[in-house]
Structure 1
Amino acid sequence: MTVEVIRSGLLGAVPHGFLGRRGGVSTGVHAGLNVGLGSDDDRAVVVENRRRAGDAVLPDAALVTVYQVHGRDCVIADRWPEADRPRADAMVTDRPGLLLGILTADCAPVLLADAEAGVVGAAHAGWKGALAGVTDATIETMERLGAQRDRIAAAIGPCIARPSYEVDDAFARRFEDADPANERFFTAGRVGHHRFDLEAYVAARLAAAGIARVDALGLDTYADEDRFYSYRRATHRGEPDYGRQISLIGIRSSP
């Protein structure tokens, strides 16, 4: 099966893609394009999946990932050894030949580009990182490399959607304590619970930061098992492990 690459029209010709589980060589609970080195999958299989993922978006580029910790830190990407990845949840670069990769399994991957400046970014926005401002940190770091936020376009890839994302009162209070207007991202569920719209929250944070062009793809990782991995779905089923998908963005090298 060919690797499926989901692209955003807003990011145009910038090499990028949101990848799911189609086109990989993993089997069992990881079946498909599992790129998670932290999973229990066979390492050689994961490495092959990562090679396929990179080739599907920007062949011959160096894939760069970070050790994601559900925070807000953003780093300027470099060709660091895999064992020495920085602990962060976002990266930016203006260097051709680098391919930034963010791993998710329900959290929201965000790809950003100022095509005129030749600066791109990638962020892992789980609820903790989103609330802490990981997208704000990414935009600020892109500006350090010459991007202008009024030129930046952003796309939010496959993540858990509101109908699939039940949270409790304490969770909702964290967001409402940060900003009472955040109440709009929650709808009532069973007693003491709510449904949270992570994608809409991330889109609102981007808009509040001055990003006028935001593409929310509206793809639910939990509900679409054939296309995406989901931590929450695996947990609800009592499965022993789960795969991770990757979202990629980079800059082509000059001919």
Structure 2
Amino acid sequence: MRIRRVITTREGGSSRPPFDSFNLGGRVGDDPAALAANQRKLAEGIGLPENRLVWMEQIHGRTATIVDGPQSAAVEAADALVTAEPNLALIALSADCVPVLLGDPETGVVSAVHAGRVGARVGVLVAALKAMRDAGARLDRIEALIGPAACGECYEVPAEMQADVERHLPGSACKTRKGTAGLDLRAGLWEQLAAAGIAKIGVDPRCTMESPELYSHRRDRGRTGRFAAVVWAEPEETA
């Protein structure tokens, strides 16, 4: 199997400000017609039928749900999706939280994970890896991409919150560029993946708060859209 991954930007869609323009988040207040047009464009862009895109109602928890085919609606109360079904695209939405895309190229088991501060703290990535194993993946074969997110230099938090997250997600505590308490969730998640035996880990270095082509809940004061992190397994052509 070939593991395919896509990170969208906010450019080239139908949404008007402040969601301009390629918003893919359904619960942010955007015009439903613009959202539907953007979702159709995403499907066309990655070359899959629209019903092969699987969305989830993210709640900042640690539930990882295994899906075995198209869904009639967004998967309820989940922050990670897992499938072994080829050409079924799993989607995590983000605007500062960390999207993580996982795939085992031998079995074709893939996962899209939405790991915000709360979800990362309570182990959503660990839950996703367990669900992938249950679906037939092997940890030493899984390849990971940690997507764009608020960087540690920008993500300022109270010192007590920093200490609490660090206890549950070691490696995430850092200092902001102002010298205050900060969180680098991607660093903590990288450590968690490595500790689980994941050897191939890539990181998209972009900071959502500093990159204008990406949505940022913090930068845009809560009134903004969501970009998508998409993963699917594509069968390789045989001669």
TM normalised by structure 1 equals 0.85
Please state if 1:129 is matched with 2:119: yes
Q: How does 1:50-199 map to 2 (within 5 A)?
A: 50-60=39-49, 62-77=52-67, 78-82=69-73, 85-178=75-168, 181-182=170-171, 185-187=173-175, 193-199=180-186
Deviation at 1:80, TM superposition (A): 2.5
Whole-angstrom distance in 2 between the partners of 1:188 and 1:48 = 38
Deviation digits for residues 57-113 of structure 1 (CA, Å, limit 9, x no counterpart): 24226111111011111001242322x622110001111231101110100000000
Structure 1 residue runs without a partner (length 5+): 1-11
Whole-angstrom distance in 1 between the partners of 2:167 and 2:33 = 45
User: What amino acid is the match of 2:229?
Assistant: S
Whole-angstrom distance in 1 between the partners of 2:4 and 2:232 = 6
| 2:141 alignment partner, SS class | coil
* Matching residue of 1:204: 191
| 2:127 alignment partner, SS class | helix
Deviation at 1:42, TM superposition (A): 0.6
| 2:106 alignment partner, SS class | coil
More helix by share: 1
Kindly report the root-mean-square deviation, in angstroms, between the aligned alpha carbons of the 2 structures. Answer: 2.1
1:39–1:175 CA distance, 2 compared to 1 (3 A): closer
4+ residue runs over 4 A deviation: 188-191
Of 216, 220, 227, 2:203 maps to: 216
* Matching residue of 2:25: 36
**Is contact 2:162-2:182 (8 Å) kept?**
no
Of 21, 29, 41, 2:10 maps to: 21
Deviation at 1:254, TM superposition (A): 7.9
User: What amino acid is the match of 1:29?
Assistant: P
Structure 2 residue runs without a partner (length 5+): none
Whole-angstrom distance in 2 between the partners of 1:212 and 1:253 = 23
Of 214, 219, 224, 1:233 maps to: 219
Deviation digits for residues 208-245 of structure 1 (CA, Å, limit 9, x no counterpart): 111111101111111111x100000111xxx6x21011
**Is contact 1:57-1:248 (8 Å) kept?**
no
1:203–1:19 CA distance, 2 compared to 1 (3 A): same
Deviation at 1:149, TM superposition (A): 0.2
> How many residues were matched structurally?
235
TM normalised by structure 2 equals 0.91
**Is contact 1:15-1:57 (8 Å) kept?**
no
Whole-angstrom distance in 2 between the partners of 1:178 and 1:142 = 22
Whole-angstrom distance in 2 between the partners of 1:70 and 1:49 = 24
User: What amino acid is the match of 2:232?
Assistant: G
| 1:247 alignment partner, SS class | strand
* Matching residue of 2:229: 247
Whole-angstrom distance in 1 between the partners of 2:167 and 2:26 = 36
| 1:30 alignment partner, SS class | coil
1:19–1:189 CA distance, 2 compared to 1 (3 A): closer
Deviation at 1:252, TM superposition (A): 2.9
Whole-angstrom distance in 1 between the partners of 2:53 and 2:167 = 38
Deviation digits for residues 115-154 of structure 1 (CA, Å, limit 9, x no counterpart): 1111111100101111111111111111111110000000
Deviation at 1:27, TM superposition (A): 1.5
| 2:219 alignment partner, SS class | helix
